Amino acid sequence: MKIAIFDSGIGGLSVFNAVKKSFPQLEIVFRNDQKNMPYGDKTKNELLLLVKPFFDQFQAENFDIVIIACNTVSTTILSELREQYKFTIIPVIPMIREASLITKNKTIAICATPTTLKSSKYSVLKFKYGQNLNILEPDCREWATMIQKKQINEMKIKQTIEDILNKKCDVVVLACTHYHWIENDIKKICFNKASVIQPEEKIIAKLKQLL
């Protein structure tokens, strides 16, 4: 069983580490497109042009499963990729459903890239699971780049999170895998005020089901 994990940058490495820890016996590789990151401001056509060479290679190397550890790609071009490639694709998508099940204030925040927030898939998720929720969409457009370059502006992140907490948000959804690297920092800011969720456990559960 060969598994590939793909992302634009180091965000997917967090997913790779979690999956490798759960499945040490499997052949798992991580590949990313650091040359063209961030993906979060790119169009659908641009994403297809960038992602296709990697997926062509996955198919040529006979991978069984490819995990798209990128919410932007998963919410924008997933259907096109599934039409073109025969291997199983596991996407990551904003966890609005999961947040809707645990929020008490009915106010959640989706920390995501601009392209994810503009995608049709995201709109579907909001309509399906978020009609009775107040969904905040803080401006996180700089986060992936600052995390990738290890130039994290802690004050800016703190201000963003405190702003949504002041609006009674009690669930923060990390809908970009780059943000997994600052998950503990966000949890400290949210301490006793909001839960912070991300999809690594969900990916592992899906893999267990497939295997």
Active-site residue 190, yes or no?
Answer: no
Q: Which of 203, 147, 205 is nearest to 6 (CA)?
A: 203
Q: Which of 153, 135, 136 is nearest to 144 (CA)?
A: 153
Q: Which of 111, 140, 169, 176 is catalytic?
A: 176
Neighbours of 85 (CB within 10 A): 16
Tell me, yes or no, if 140 is annotated catalytic: no
What is the rounded (10 degree) CA torsion for 14, 17, 23, 24?
A: 170
Contact 98, 75 (CB under 8 A): no
Torsion, CA 180, CA 190, CA 141, CA 198, rounded to 10: 30
Residue matched to tokens 């290890």: 150
Whole-number Cα distances in Å, 53 to 4, 6, 32, 73, 84: 14, 12, 11, 14, 12
* Beta-sheet strands, E only, within 56-165: 65-68, 88-91, 107-111, 134-136
Give the active site residue among 70, 111, 140, 169: 70
- Would you please indicate which residues are annotated as catalytic (active-site) residues? 70, 176
